[in-house]
Amino acid sequence: MSRLVVVSNRVADPRKTAAGGLAVALAEVLNNTGGLWFGWSGKVIETEAGGRAGEGQIHRHRAGSVKLLTVDLSREDHAAYYLGYANGVLWPVFHYRLDLADFDAGYIHGYRRVNQLFAKLLAPLLKPDDLIWVHDYHLVPLASELRALGCQQRIGFFLHIPLPPPMILAAIPGHDWLMRGLCAYNLVGFQSQTDHAHFCHYIEHEARAQAIGEGRWRVFNRTVQAGAFPIGIDVDEFTALAQARESREMFARMKRDYSVRNLMVGVDRLDYSKGLPQRMRAFRELLHKHPETHQRATLIQIASPSREDVSAYTDILHELESLCGSINGNYGDLEWMPVRYIHRTVARARLPGLYRASRVALVTPLRDGMNLVAKEFIAAQDPEDPGVLVLSRFAGAAEQLSEALLVNPYDTEGTASAIQMALQMPLEERRTRHQALLATCRQYDVHWWCNSFLGALREAQAQESGTPWLRL
């Protein structure tokens, strides 16, 4: 079997619980093939004027039989590649937020430079029959940089975040370069059918691609295959985590503290794509419209710090703090605080207990590639007395989880009504919906995702063989 080489912005040690299901699933395949995982170390280092961090310097670690290879970034490269282009341009635009994108700062040069650096360091380590799997928006041009160095291996790309419609994509100066880079992969995977359709529309109309069947296209003088591969969680791993001591303690404490109240939960990174202020406004509307919820419902909102050195994130932090403060000020009393807002990361081992103790989960992003919290909440429930998932129709997960209560997070009244419906849902209906949702999470779990993507990547190569690589 070919060796698997994974490339992503950050590299996780799959033996640590915090790494999550994705790292565990990748580690399984990496382990079986004696593979390697390559990416940024997370370290930013100061360099002499003109010098570049990471040039030729690879840190090597081992996690079982998996090799973890990382490089440091210079302050300048980190600012342009990571904070600038990836998180100041691609993240907002791909989440449909052109208003937040900073196109003018010239970050694209740093983005290209770091992708070239990764390609230069990785290319000599590759074997001819390696299977290379590149992850996410930080590394779109990596395949074309590797191809330019003569790499002919099978290279697949998975986009963890949404791909917006062509008219939004086309607003990015250099969008044609970016999309041409995407077409240098043998296989491109998206989270949802919607994202896949946006890709097809773009290459058909902007690059005159020709469909040649089964998700394959002729474009830029080569063949690229694309499809939707919705990511899942490791349901068994998460269920096992729910049985561990930390999770059981969390469950018991929450059940005790909220014995007379319905607990609602939100777990997110503090990001403007997650719709946190809109969620708070919907919760405020619920309290306003349904006084019977007073004293009876408490929302625990965990919003872990994220990319605090990008300015749009400090704005969202202040807005959220102010909304939580005013809800508690206006509706709370000595015995009851409607919202508990926690601006910290909760240990992964405690999450299943928190989910299981909650009657309702609010997963209401304005836009999300998939959203794994929705699936984790389903996996953690007691099937005999499950909670209800209120899910944004704009999360990739909504395509699969149609038995959740789907909401438009911009519609404050509509979302408040759905929360009320969730709080009042009879046991029988909760069970029926949960059963269907759990079956979907199980069928399309993270192992399905990994195997179906890698299976398609192997196939894509078989079909491509005999077609010489044409340089971009």
Active site residues: 160, 368
Residue 266 in the binding site for ligand ADQ (CB under 6 A): no
Q: Which is nearer to ligand ADQ, 26 or 219 (CB)?
A: 26
Alpha helices, DSSP H, located in 221-301: 235-243, 245-257, 276-289
In whole angstroms, what is the distance from residue 321 CA to residue 315 CA? 10
Binding mask 275-314 for ligand ADQ (x = CB under 6 A): ---------------------------x-x----------
Cα–Cα distance measured from residue 161 to residue 462, given in angstroms and rounded to the nearest whole number = 28
Contact 94, 163 (CB under 8 A): yes
Interface characters, 153-172, with ligand ADQ (x: CB under 6 A): -------xx-----------
Q: Is 346 in the site for ligand ADQ (CB under 6 A)?
A: yes
Q: How many residues bind ligand ADQ (CB under 6 A)?
A: 20
Nearest distance in Å: CB 411, ligand ADQ: 21
Chain position carrying tokens 């930013």? 44
Record the tokens describing residue 396, joined without a space: 């990739």
223 scored as a contact of ligand ADQ (CB under 6 A): no
Closest by CA to 284, choosing from 265, 299, 303, 262, is 299
- Binding status of residue 231 toward ligand ADQ by CB under 6 A: yes
Q: Which stretch binds ligand ADQ (CB under 6 A): 145-153, 202-210, 344-352, 440-448?
A: 344-352
End-to-end CA distance of the chain: 30
CB 386, min distance to ligand ADQ, A: 18
String of contacts with ligand ADQ for each residue 189-218, x by CB under 6 A: ------------------------------
The least distance separating ligand ADQ from the CB of residue 161, rounded to whole angstroms, comes to: 5
The binder of ligand ADQ chosen from 269, 290, 340, 458 (CB under 6 A): 269
Tokens of 297: 């419902």
| Shortest separation between residue 231's beta carbon and ligand ADQ, angstroms | 4
Per CB under 6 A, contacts with ligand ADQ among 380-409 are none
Q: In angstroms, what is the minimal distance from the CB of 103 to ligand ADQ?
A: 22
301 bridge partner residues: 266, 341
In the bound state with ligand ADQ, the residue whose beta carbon lies nearer, of 391 and 423, is 391
The correct pick among 25, 80, 265, 372 for binding ligand ADQ (CB under 6 A) is 372
Of residues 90 and 119, the one with the C-beta less far from ligand ADQ: 90
Q: Are 366 and 274 within 8 A, CB to CB?
A: yes
In 172-331, DSSP assigns E strands to 187-190, 210-213, 216-219, 222-228, 262-269, 297-304
Q: Does residue 350 interact with ligand ADQ by CB under 6 A?
A: no
Contact status: 20 vs ligand ADQ (CB under 6 A): yes
How many angstroms separate the CA atoms of 177 and 269, rounded?
Answer: 30
Residue from 467, 252, 207 nearest 353 by CA: 252
Quote the Cα angle for 310-316-318, to 5°: 110
Assigned token pair, 354: 């928190």
- Using CB under 6 A as the binding rule, whether residue 369 contacts ligand ADQ is answered as yes
Distances in whole angstroms, Cα of residue 38 to Cα of each of 6, 114, 129, 163, 307: 6, 13, 17, 24, 22
Q: Residue 157 or residue 217: which is nearer to ligand ADQ going by CB? A: 157
Please report how close the Cβ of residue 238 comes to ligand ADQ at its closest, in angstroms. 9
Q: In the bound complex, what is the minimum distance in angstroms from residue 455's beta carbon to ligand ADQ?
A: 19
Q: Return d(Cα 355, Cα 405) in angstroms, integer.
A: 17
- Helix H or strand E encompassing 152: none
Say whether residue 267 binds ligand ADQ (CB under 6 A).
yes
> What gap in Å lies between CA 294 and CA 264, rounded to an integer?
13
Interacting residue ranges for ligand ADQ, rule: CB under 6 A: 20, 160-161, 231, 267-269, 302, 304, 345-346, 348, 351, 368-373, 376
